[in-house]
Structure 1
Amino acid sequence: MFSKLIKIIQLLKSLFNFSGNSSAPAIVYDARYPFAYADEFSEGLATIEKDGKCGFIDQSGTIVIACEFDDAEYFNEGLAPVRQGKYWGHIDQTGKVVTPLIYDEADFLMDGLAFVMQQGQYGCVDKTGTLVVPCQFDDALSFDEGRAPVAKEGQYSYLDKSGKLLKDYQFEDAEYFSEGRALVQQNRLYGYVDLNINLVIPCQFIAAEPFQDGVAAVKKDGLWGVIDKQGKLLLPYRYQVPLSFVEGLAGIQEGSLQEANSQVQQQRLINTSNSKNDTKGKWGYINKSGRLVIPYQFEQVSIFSEGLAGVQLQGKAGYINSTGKVVIPYQFDEGRPFKEGLAAVIVDGQTGFINPAGALVIPPQSYYADDFTEGMALVMNEQDQFGYINTRGEFLRFQETEKVGH
């Protein structure tokens, strides 16, 4: 999320102010970009910063939770982490404090529970803000698919939503669940557990990725392959980089495949020498059988999203469908994946949005824009000031009058 990066940049700017002027002039804000910081909308509300304090607006541009927090994150499952002074807690969508602001850290609510930290130890609060799992873990990650990795004395296991430890601590590392599998480490090798924390794919890989689109990239002997959820090797260990499948296809660069034998290499060289177009370093797409279904031809590729993928040829970006047919001609300097039916495109340094037919529904303007979320896109001008546009490209009008719920 680009706003998180900007937040870090703004903090660094404040820390390294070499001007020596302690009384800098007040910042003047464009009415279209009224916020010093803002985040994307989530559950109908968005975090914004005014006059050094954080609050929340709704999609009418009205402040519905007053700007009185020193930091605030987005809402998830009805609660948002907020900080006043040194301490964190949670508020609900009326601005009422639900989890007392007494914790050193507070995570998002996931699967009805949120991790909090006191004195270096993690526990869980529920949606009422009640501490239901005492602070006792040295490390913890958020719940996903009803399970959360937790650690004590350098060893990991998993909690369920009742706070029960499902297995003894036995892993050197443990990750979130994705598609019913979680990546774990033993003896410096990686494998996968199921939701019962049974090691269904033994720890045997020197590196591995989470499951996505039903498969996972795994590495042995310096090369990557692809497995299914049972651990069956679908694509052999011959790829120099991990493959990331989305909507059944993965981008692959010519030359990233280590051929199995010299005869195959020789035939590939013959095919290349007979070709009118040099494909060295070009990109294409393979399917889960390892077949190159969209030939090497592109200078850059992106993931498929909503049936289309942004690709670049001769310095210009366009979009193809899953058969490789160009459905939106090469005309942009950059094209991002589709989200909520729109994709951001860059033309002469300005950002606009197109629909799947390629029509420019929001003309390019001199702002940086995030992808659309809940019908709104976060935008930022050259002065690092933030605003929002809707799917018609209209700026959200900030209402100076607060309509706070507490």
Structure 2
Amino acid sequence: MIIVCSCAITMADNTYKWALYDVKGTGEFHDGLAEFYSNGLYGFINSAGEVAIEAKFKSVEDFEDGQAIVETESGMGIINRNGLFLLEPKYKRIKKAEEAPGLYVIESTEGYKGIFFNNRLVIPPINSYGDFSTYYFPFINNINILNGKIYGGIRKEGDIFISKTQTKNKMNRLYFDKNGNELNATSYSKSSKGLVIFKGENDKYGFKNADTGTIITAPQYSGSLFDIWIKDHIIVFTSKGLALINASGEIVIETGYLQYEDDYILCVTYEPKMLYGLYSLTGEEIIPTKYNFLYKIVGDWYRCEIDDGQVAFNIKTKKKYPGKHFTYSDGMIQVDQEDGGYYYINAATGNRLADTYKYANDFSEGLAVVEKDGDGYKRIINKQGKTILRETEDFEIKGNIFSEGVIATRYKYDYCYMYNPLGHGDYVYNQKGATDKTIDIWFKEGLEAMNKKRYSEAKEIFYRIIMNAPENGMAINNYGVCLDNMGYKEEALEAFTMAFDLNPNNTTAKNNMELTKKELLQQQEQTEIETEESNSGTFWDALASFGNLLGQMAGNYAGQNADNSYSSGYSGHNNSSSSNNASSYQTQYSRWESIAERHYNSITNTGFRVRDKQGNRGGSAMQGTNSGNYVQMKKSFRDAQRQMRNIRNDAKRHGVTITQSKWETATITY
């Protein structure tokens, strides 16, 4: 039985899965970066927990599409993920627009506005006045910022933009699609039934068949709101206000004012006061015309304002929920009540979560941070209202939402990032420069993965520990246990031997090492027979002599036996009082370093792909080599690494420091 090393972990709850532990700041991760605060200034850390952009800004906003708004002493600007300025910091205000990635409204110190889009100033803030709303993007301040052309006043009907320009004799209209491309008005001038609008001798307008000339509707309207058919309808002026006409020339709706609202028509009456309603294009009442205001929340949900309050109204189910403010995110509507408190509505099912909360944030990645009255602890709930996690005395939720798979927390006075309890998703956090506390967290995660027989996952966790703490014998032993359970017994033996070399008193590693040696000896004869049968006539045999040659070349630098194994050429030193001894340590270390490098290069860097017995790609090799020699070469590589480690540890015990070579920790993963 292979034995696992365990260690004491000071964790309070198995639910915590740390992405990053003991790091700076509690900002949200966006584009792989999160803000942090230090000495009165802000910067950004990356997904390894390292400082990616130094803390040198008075304020920062989250990254989006590779850009972030920042503020310096000289003003506001925009940086990229490398911290370089895309827009110099000299502006009084910068506002990110929602209508398009990379779209910003900027304002100079003189109060002039402009537009920064696609990494350039498309409208410089020089004596610029007008409406800089981005609602009609790509038209801003009557400029199409995609082509730089200036047009008349812009309005939107359905998915079409309309530009009106008044000349001396008539009103000129141009039409554009949602991307700002000019449309051929002629193709929209006729309904699907062949109707066109025409002007009669009485200066009124009616409809006729464009092909036959047959008058369908006698001239009786004073004009049209626009000259083309939108969604196969057209809006005309009548004595009552406006009328929606269908493709056959029939009046569908007639009221004070009409406007397209997505696939519906917004209706407004003026008597006895201005009231709003919503109707389908066939005239079906969707929302009665009795509200002071209508605003779409999301999908089938509208915010409807009446004299005594507001409601969230679903136009399909007719469900209503009272509230003061309504916001949508991640499939859930958050409701701020008139008398205080919050609750949630599932936008898809229309059902309300049972609880009311003192404090609530938007849902994100399936979860929301809330606080109930009474205990003062925040908790994380799912879309069914179930508490997934709550704060404790030493665990505090600092972030407002989950972003890129994590949320900021504070654990035992350290800032951390915790994985989403519903799953890690596709986000990768690989902490570097780990503290002892971080390694304890990783060790616990590795043990949990091993207990659930997720050996591949556990192996990566223990490998991460080894890279940050190369003398952690327990992690090295457990790395070997994972390899053994995955079927890589030779590699497992190397790990057990490494753990034992680090600490001869490590009885767990010693027992595992001896047990694995016996198993390998028992399997050796059968393995050799299977190897001869499976590799005959393949690239392995073709390159066998080449592999032997490489082994001989490496053997010239150390006491190598005929079977490609190494006799230990290093027996240790008794003292380190002289510079000659320090030099001797380095000479011995460099000799084994050269051997490790040569074996690594001969196995991995000669240009062809290699697969293991399971068919997994793992690197490149010189077309292949006899599998027995390949194993021996890798064993020789590991032997050289062990010698380097022993020399460096012995030197350290005698007061001599040897810089660890990358060849001591290099790995071959196939």
Shift in Å at residue 360 of structure 1?
2.0
Q: Distance in 2 between matches of 1:46 and 1:208?
A: 46
Cα-to-partner distance string for 1:100-149 (whole Å, 9 max, x where unaligned): 334444444844554444433333445455x4443332256475674253
Question: Aligned pair 1:339/2:369, yes or no?
Answer: no
Could you say which residue in structure 1 is the equivalent of 2:111? 120
Contact 1:226 1:243 in 2 (8 A): no
Say which SS state the counterpart of residue 293 (structure 1) adopts: coil
How far residue 346 of structure 1 moved from its aligned partner, in angstroms, is: 1.7
How many residues are matched? 315
Residue 376 (str. 1) matches residue 406 (str. 2): yes
Partner of 1:134: 124
User: 1:71 — aligned with what?
Assistant: 59
> Which residue is equivalent to 1:154?
none
- Say whether the 8 Å CA contact 2:58–2:72 is kept in structure 1: yes
Residue 48 (structure 1) aligned with residue 36 (structure 2):
yes
Secondary structure of 2:318 counterpart: strand
Does the 8 Å contact 1:55/1:65 carry over to 2?
A: yes
**Structure-1 separation of matches of 2:43 and 2:64:** 15
Secondary structure of 1:373's counterpart equals: coil
User: SS at 2:124's partner residue?
Assistant: strand
- Equivalent position of 2:276 in the other structure: 225
Q: Which amino acid aligns with 2:129?
A: D
Task: Give yes or no for contact 1:114–1:142 (8 Å, CA) kept in 2.
Answer: no
State the superposition RMSD in angstroms.
Answer: 5.5
On the 8 A contact 1:301/1:309 being kept in 2, the answer is: no
**Deviation sequence 1:150-187 (CA, Å, 0-9, x none):** 3xxxxxx343323322x23x58xx9xx89847999xxx
Deviation of residue 220 (structure 1)?
4.8
Q: Is the 8 A contact 2:397 2:408 kept in 1?
A: no
Residue number in structure 2 paired with 1:8 = none
Partner Cα separation in structure 2 for residue 73 and residue 65 of structure 1? 13
Asked if structure 2 preserves the Cα contact closer than 8 Å seen for 1:252 and 1:284, the reply is yes
CA contact 1:336–1:345 (8 Å) conserved in 2 = yes
Taking a change above 3 Å as real, the CA distance of residues 350 and 372 of structure 1, as seen in their structure-2 partners, is same
Cα 1:116–1:387 shift into 2, 3 Å = farther
Partner of 2:623: none
Residues in 2 aligned to 1:52 and 1:145: alpha-carbon distance in whole angstroms: 39
Distance 1:106 1:310 in 2: 28
Mapping of residues 79-90 of structure 1, within 5 Å: 79-90=67-78
Does the aligned pair in 2 maintain the 1:346–1:364 contact within 8 Å?
A: no
Change (3 A) 1:339 1:73: closer
Q: Match for 1:161 among 146, 154, 172?
A: 146
Matched, 1:360 2:387: yes
Does 316-325 or 208-217 show the bigger shift? 208-217
Give the conservation status (yes or no) of the 8 Å contact 2:263–2:281.
Answer: no
Q: CA deviation at 1:51?
A: 1.0
Letter in 2 for 1:95: G
Assess if the C-alpha contact under 8 Å between 2:77 and 2:87 holds in 1. Answer: yes
Residue 315 (structure 2) aligns with: 288
Of the candidates 65, 85, 91, which is equivalent to residue 79 of structure 2?
91
1:113·1:161 contact (CA, 8 Å) conserved in 2?
A: no
Residue correspondence of structure 1 range 4-403 to structure 2 within 5 A: 35=25, 39-108=27-96, 110-118=100-108, 119-129=110-120, 131-136=121-126, 137-138=128-129, 141=132, 143=134, 146-150=137-141, 157-165=142-150, 167-168=151-152, 170=153, 180=159, 195=178, 220=270, 222-227=273-278, 234-250=286-302, 256=306, 286-288=313-315, 293-294=318-319, 306-309=330-333, 322=348, 325=351, 329-330=354-355, 336-347=361-372, 348-364=375-391, 369-377=399-407, 389-392=418-421
- Which of 1 and 2 has greater Rg? 2
Check conservation: 2:379, 2:390, Cα contact below 8 A: yes
* In 1: Cα distance, 2:330 partner to 2:52 partner: 33
Cα distance in structure 1, aligned partners of 2:291 and 2:410: 39
Contact 2:24 2:49 in 1 (8 A): no
Per the TM alignment, residue 228 of structure 1 is displaced from its structure 2 partner at its CA by 6.9
Mapped partners of 2:40, 2:359: distance in 1: 34
Q: CA, structure 1 residues 212+59, in 2 after alignment: closer, same or farther (shift >3 Å)? A: farther
After TM superposition, the score normalised by the length of structure 1 is 0.55
Partner of 2:557: none
Task: Assess if the C-alpha contact under 8 Å between 1:132 and 1:163 holds in 2.
Answer: yes
Amino acid paired to 1:147: P
1: CA distance, partners of 2:124 / 2:287: 44
Identity of aligned residues (%): 20
What is the TM-score with the length of structure 2 in the denominator? 0.37
Match of 1:15 in 2: none
Residue 335 of structure 1 contacts residue 346 of structure 1 at CA under 8 Å; is this kept in 2? Answer: yes
User: For 1:369 and 1:57, how far apart are their aligned partners in 2?
Assistant: 15
Are the equivalent residues in 1 in contact too, given 2:409–2:418 (CA < 8 A)? yes
Report the secondary structure of 2:400's partner residue.
strand
For 1:270, the equivalent position in structure 2 comes to: none
Query: Separation in 1 of the partners of 2:267 and 2:50?
Result: 45
Question: How far is 1:391 from its partner?
Answer: 1.9
Contact 2:368 2:401 (C-alpha < 8 Å) held by counterparts: yes
Match of 2:486 in 1: none
TM-aligned CA distance change 1:49 to 1:341, over 3 Å: same
> Separation in 2 of the partners of 1:83 and 1:246?
33
CA distance in 2, matches of 1:178, 1:42: 35
Q: Deviations over 1:73-111 (max 9, x none)?
A: 232332222232123332210112232334444444844
The answer for unaligned runs of 5 or more in structure 2 is: 1-20, 164-174, 184-224, 227-234, 243-254, 435-670
Q: Assess if the C-alpha contact under 8 Å between 1:249 and 1:288 holds in 2.
A: yes
Deviation at 1:397, TM superposition (A): 12
What letter is aligned with 1:162?
A: N
Letter in 2 for 1:293: K
Distance in 2 between residues matched to 1:251 and 1:34, nearest whole Å: 41
CA change 1:70–1:307 in 2 (3 A) is closer
